[in-house]
Amino acid sequence: MALLDICLHFRAQPTLVLILFDHLDPAVHPLARNLACDAQASFSVVIHWDISNGVRYHRDNDSFESRMMPEKPSELTSMSAAWLLPVVSTIVAAAAGAVVAETLPSPQLSLWTIIASYILWGLGLSFSIIILGVYFGRLALYRLPPKSIILSTCIPLGPMGQGGFVILKLGAGARKFFPINNTLDPAAGNVFYSVGFLIALILWGFGLLWLCHAILAIASHKRLPFSMGWWSSIFPLGVFANCTIQMSKEMPSQFFKVLSTILALCVVILWIIVSLGTIRGVISGNIIYAPCLSDLRVKRKKRRIFKSS
């Protein structure tokens, strides 16, 4: 409800509303779809979306060059699932485009938004698969990530869940707008929709594998100290649950309906736990630190003890 109040307050300034939307998960977009019904708001949506996509594309290129082709050689053990974070934002942009395309007044504009979203989806997902291949090699050759960043094993769920959600929404949009714009064959929209659902199933299954791996990796540690790194598990689980919900809508399956409800409840419970832990850490003053530096601090402390002795 707070989001709706903000959107209604800025109804006369649609660009500000879309800036807010662009940084939120597309699952909350339907709450204010009616705010983009007029032409001015619709074109503001497209302009801001194009600008943000250009920024994301440039950032993805920089991330690819800095991580995949560094100036100095880096060891595989230093690689973590956090490499996926800059790349998954491109898939999020595609999700925003898939949602926005449904509200645009011009079918031609909706068509081009869907096509651009397909390109963004392919860019983000292909980069994600490349990084996941390297990450799997790191897990196969070396041990699990350190205890301080073990929750980063949930991050691979992000591109799989978000990618599945995007291809489902784009397939539905293609089925609706391809015939209106006489794009390709009259049956092309149905083909895109059916193939998209198949791809979503494959991505969902791949995400399920990473979910099981994350659960086993986290369960291998008895006690995990709370840190800001816990927030890295919220978005991946949330978009995976969102993909499951969308699949339950597209396919009348009781299995996906029950499973999507369970996953959604787990995300809410986890969000409450992490929020309470964050509030407690802020009050105590122990929350603002880098989890990746915890091992380094222990080593420095041991060196000081050794020198003093």
pLDDT at 147: 77
DSSP state of 220: T
- Counted domains in the chain: 1
Query: Which are the contacts of 257, defined by CB distance < 8 A and separation ≥ 6?
Result: 248
Neighbours of 72 (CB within 10 A): 4
In this structure, the chain runs to a length of 309
CB-facing half-sphere around the CA of 47: CA atoms within 13 A: 11
Neighbours of 120 (CB within 10 A): 27
What is the pTM (predicted TM-score) of this model? 0.73
**Closest among 49, 67, 48 to 59, alpha carbons compared:** 67
Query: Which are the contacts of 258, defined by CB distance < 8 A and separation ≥ 6?
Result: none
DSSP 104-171: -S-HHHHHHHHHHHHHHHHHHHHHHHHHHHHHHHHHHHS-PPPGGGGGGGGTTHHHHHHHHHHHHHHH
The answer to whether position 274 is within a domain reads: no
The answer to whether position 309 is within a domain reads: no
CA 272 to chain centre: 19
The answer to whether position 273 is within a domain reads: no
The answer to whether position 211 is within a domain reads: yes
Ramachandran sector of residue 166 (left: φ over 0; alpha: ψ -120 to 50; beta: rest): alpha
pLDDT at 15: 35
> Biggest alpha carbon distance in the chain?
81
The answer to whether position 306 is within a domain reads: no
The answer to whether position 115 is within a domain reads: yes
**Closest among 264, 237, 234, 260 to 247, alpha carbons compared:** 260
Give me the residues of the chain with pLDDT under 50, please: 1-39
pLDDT at 39: 47
Distance CA 188, CA 75 (A): 46
Q: Distance between the two ends of the chain, CA-based, in angstroms?
A: 60
Domain that residue 24 falls in: 2-219
The answer to whether position 271 is within a domain reads: no
pLDDT at 297: 58
The answer to whether position 58 is within a domain reads: yes
DSSP state of 91: H
Distance CA 245, CA 63 (A): 31
DSSP 163-188: HHHHHHHHHHHHHHHHHHTT-SSTTH
Q: To the nearest 10°, the Cα dihedral for 155, 159, 164, 167?
A: 160
pLDDT at 222: 77
